[in-house]
Structure formats: structure tokens, C-alpha cells
Amino acid sequence: MKDAMKDAVREESAEAAQGEEVWPLPRRCPLAPPRGLAERLRTAPVARIRLWDGSSAWVVTRYDDVRAVLSDPRTSVDPRINGYPQVNAGLAAVRHAERSMLNRDDPEHAAVRRRVSGQFTVRKVEALRPVIQRVVDERVDDLLAGPMPADFVHGFALAVPLGIICELLGVPFGDRALFEGWTATMFDPAAGPARSTAASRAMSEYLARLVRAKKEDPRDDLLSSLAAGQPAAGAMTEAELANLARVLLIAGHETTAATIALGTLHLLGHPAQAAELREATDPALVAGAVEELLRITTVVQSGRRRVATADIELGGQLIRKGEGIVVAGDIANRDPAVFADPDTLDIHRGARHHVTFGYGVHQCLGQVLARAELQTVFGTLFRRIPRLALAVPLEELRFKDDMVTYGVHRMPVTW
């Protein structure tokens, strides 16, 4: 009798799963979220989806509900909890093997975050502005000195934030190809657990060796400061330092690079607004444009992931303890109840209240740095390269539809 009941429950779950759309939903336009998400926002803002492994989770699309989930202490980022909606098999293996502040709940998360948060304050980042401008100008120089057409993604979009975070941490920029390769493997759903964990382990071992070198010969950089064990940093083991450096290195370039590339694509499609940035003398205009580009690109397409640690009622639905939640920030940033005419790029909008950097205690630690980098990029790029243009039709570009961070693989440009 019990076995029959179990079989019936399994059959019912299988039938329910068959009626659920598989996440991520397909895109029709490469510069807009999936149309199915807009439909969910209108008709079922909290609804079921089916994940890559056949499990079910809730997807949350409405702006107010997204902020509610991300600030609710009854949701957890810990991927070890049963029901957590894993992104793919490779990342699941990496996150189980090497825990970081990104997948720890408070108070553990807060303790790790405090060790480095002082390096990402507005005052600290403002002092870095000359360094950021120098790196951006150097990468523009490199792009202009190279062959044409050039790949904007690897020649500029990736090189800028990776160069800055390497300088901040004290990591050799000459090893950028290693970091790009390891990161790409970890985030590639086709890599699988073995390759993903191997890439993560290789990066951690590289950074552990660097930590040891910083202890013996400290320099004026963040990793040296942490390795020296200053009282404000707290006691951290070599492995913890390497893990923290890995998180900062990945988070410090991957999403910003994608935003640079996609933001540039959007502006190339809106030449009048690109011209405004080219002629801009008011930093506030550039800062506002960056917020709008952050809103309209929202590159974390896999959604921020949580698992309910208690029953939660949201949007007329009951999310039970142990059920996964996927927060769709890309469509929440186009919620018409919050952003008028949300599918239109408007650099005068004033969109700083977007949720691109998350919300709540897990808001992006490096958002002040990312904003400074993007402001410098978009305040410089079209002024230095006024004739920047795609070298191929938009339809020929290959986008990262199946990756954690949305973006474009290559982007040939001319000037």
C-alpha cells in the first residue's frame, strides 16, 4: 500500500514536471530577456519551473517579490541544503568542494565579508579612479594598435575589469589567459563536475602559491594585506585566503566584462544616446547611463538562487520549506510597475534602484568598484573611438545563452 502511494506521488510529480517550462527559458531577441519571462511577470509572477536535473523550483519575476526573497532570512544561499536549485552539475560540484562567502549564510557570511568590505568603500574606490582610467586608456590603445576588425570581448571588455582586479589584488595580469580559461570552464554547463572542479582547484592552488609569496614578500595590494594578517582582517588560513581571492578574482571581472560588451551593443543600436555619452561633460550623465545599462543588460541570467528554510507565502503562492527559488532579476528590472516603458534604453531614466547587484545582505560586494569601472569605460570608449561599429551583423554574433552570466562570445568591431 505504501509503495503504491509512493508510486502515485512520483507519477503525480512527473506529470507536474512535464507541464513546467525548462529553465532557462529560450530567448527570441539576444538583447532582451526571454519572452516567456515577461508572460510570467504578467500572469504568474511566482510560478513553477523545471531545472536541468529534472527537479522543480519556483521562479520569482516581480520586482517587489524579488526584493522580498533576497532580503528574507528564511531563504538560504547554502547549496548543501536539500532542495537548493543547483545551476548545473559542474557548479554544484565546485560549490560543494570549496565554500565561499557567496554561498554562506549569516553570521558566517558577514564574518568573511567584513574582512574585505573595507577595500570596496566609496572612498577607497574613488582613490582608484586614476588607476581605472589608466587601465581603460591602455586597453583602448591596445585595441586601436591591433588588427581590424578586432574582438571587442577579449581585446577590451574582458581585459579592463580583469586588469583592474588583478592590480587591486596583486595578481599578475600576464596570467590573464589562465584566469579566463579557468573561469570559463567553471561556468560552462557542458564542462561537467570533473572539469569544473579541476579548474576551480587549479585556480585555488595558483592563488595559494601567490598567498605564500605575499607572506614572504608583501606588496601594496589587497592580497598582501590579508596575507600579512593585519588585525582588521582577522585570522585566515592560507586555504581561506586563496578561496577568497578566487571569489574576488572571478566576481571582479566576469559580470563587469559581460556588461561592457552588452552595454556597448545596446549603445551601438542607439547612436543618438552613444553620441550624448561621447560629448558628455557632466559625470552625472555618464553615471546615470551606467545604471540604465546595468538595468537593461542584467547579465546574471541564471537567476540568483535560494532555498526556503521555512514556509513562505509570496505572490499568492505557498513556497514550502526545502523548495528552491530562482530570482529572475533580468525581468524584475523590466517590471512596468517600477520602470516605465521598461524595454526602451533611456540613459536619462534614473534607474539606480535596479536589482542587478542583488538586494539584502548578499548584495554585490564590489558594486562600487563595478560602477566606477563602467563609468570610466562608457565615459571614455565613444570619445576615444567615435566610429566604433560592429564588423558583422548582430544576427551573426553568438551569445552565451546557456551560461550563468549572459554575454557574447566574440564581438568583431571596426572604427
Q: Shortest CA distance to 406 belongs to which of 306, 305, 294, 307? A: 294
Domains detected in the chain: 1-88+303-332 (3.30.43.20), 98-127+159-252 (1.10.630.10), 254-298+334-415 (1.10.630.10)
How much is the pTM? Answer: 0.90
Give pLDDT, residue 231.
Answer: 43
pLDDT, one tens digit per residue, over 47-82 is: 999 999 999 999 999 999 999 999 999 999 999 999
Q: Shortest CA distance to 63 belongs to which of 339, 301, 346, 290? A: 339
Q: Which residue has the higher pLDDT, 107 or 1?
A: 107
Q: Shortest CA distance to 304 belongs to which of 243, 359, 265, 386? A: 359
Question: 393: exposed, middle or buried (C-beta count within 10 Å: 0-12, 13-18, 19+)?
Answer: exposed
d(CA 106, CA 77): 10
What per-residue string of b and e applies to 50-83 under the rule 16 or more CB within 10 Å gives b?
bbbeebbbbbbbbbebbbbbbebeebbbbbebeb
d(CA 278, CA 135): 19
Q: How many CA atoms lie within 13 A of 329 on its CB side?
A: 26
Element (H, E) at 377: helix 367-384
pLDDT, one tens digit per residue, over 325-339 is: 999 999 999 999 999
